[in-house]
Amino acid sequence: MRNSAARGVIVLHAMLCVLLSASCSRHPEEQASAQTAPQSAEAPPSPEKHYFISAANPYAVEAGEKILARGGTAVDAAIATSAVLGLVEPQSSGLGGGAFMMFFDPATGSLETYDGREVAPATAQPDRFLKSDGEPMAFYDAVVGGLSVGVPGIVRMLELAHNEHGSLPWSELLAPAAGLAENGFEVSPRLHGLLELYPRMKRLPAAGAYFFDEAGEPWSVGHVLRNEPYAETLRTLSEEGPEAFYSGQIAQEIV
């Protein structure tokens, strides 16, 4: 692990918080009661480990720990954790969004901040959310669809942080999330509950087919979801690098 004992990272991505530090052990059991997770994510902390990982879902904690076990840095682990959160809690995280990151190096006392939040598209104009008669669009007419989407910044931010503070290959950091997307993950109580609160999601063909059963009900807690398109996206980013997100097929599909 390259200087991992002297480095800490905080990533804020919407409702996501990933914290890696050299001075504490991880405590995923505090959230295990609220979310279904692999058994290994509930294991008690080991006294030999000098870090902790905090994330919104235990699957993400497990991914970060795997990267640290392979000798990755805190930034490496944060990237792996973030990629998994985009799969298991897409309502709050994802490659199509933005993030902030804070990186502290106690050896030098330096604190670096990264701004990876979304920015408005170049063609955005003040009348973007006005109807032809000049009146504002209804909220859901404006927010659902491409009009309200900013240019995603998280992938570029993670690329910069990895270039400056990573050690493992970029492709290795996305492998845990890609494998989980292919093999499946259990729907958490939080994801299930949020889908119940927003039944209008089923009106969107892709979201409706993925998050709801044939009866139009949200998949139950513990139901195993697989996301091959997400796995394919991660494989593309692994093979071609972060630039593939902003150019080529992925970028064209977003636009």
- Of the CA atoms within 13 Å of residue 21, those in its CB half-sphere come to 13
Given pLDDT bands bounded at 50, 70 and 90, which one contains residue 90? very high
Most confident of 18-27, 157-166, 244-253: 157-166
Question: Which single residue is written with the structure tokens 């905090």?
Answer: 54
Query: Can you give the pLDDT at residue 12?
Result: 52
Looking at the DSSP assignment, which residues form a beta bridge with residue 111?
104
What is the mean pLDDT of the segment spanning 236-243? 96
Residue 23 has pLDDT above 70, yes or no: no
Q: What is the pTM of this model?
A: 0.80
Question: What are the residue ranges spanned by the domains of the chain?
Answer: 4-118+153-185+228-254, 188-221
Query: Can you give the pLDDT at residue 14?
Result: 36
pLDDT in tens, 134-190: 999 999 889 877 888 899 999 999 999 999 999 999 999 999 999 999 999 999 999
Residue 24 has pLDDT above 60, yes or no: no
DSSP state of 13: E
Query: Can you give the pLDDT at residue 148?
Result: 87
Closest C-alpha to 80, from 183, 9, 30: 9
User: Average per-residue pLDDT in the chain?
Assistant: 84
Most confident of 18-32, 41-55, 97-111, 214-228: 214-228
Query: Can you give the pLDDT at residue 9?
Result: 61
pLDDT in tens, 50-84: 788 999 999 999 999 999 999 999 999 999 999 99
Query: Can you give the pLDDT at residue 15?
Result: 31
What is the mean pLDDT of the segment spanning 203-226? 95
What is the mean pLDDT of the segment spanning 12-17? 39
CA dihedral 217, 218, 224, 229 (to 10 degrees): 110
By three-state DSSP, how is residue 186 classified? strand
Do 64 and 81 meet the contact criterion of CB atoms below 8 Å apart? yes
Task: Give the Cα separation of 246 and 255 in Å (integer).
Answer: 10
DSSP state of 55: -
Backbone angles phi, psi at 169, to 5 degrees: -60, 145
Q: Which residues contact 185 (CB under 8 A, 6 or more apart)?
A: 59, 87, 88, 224, 225
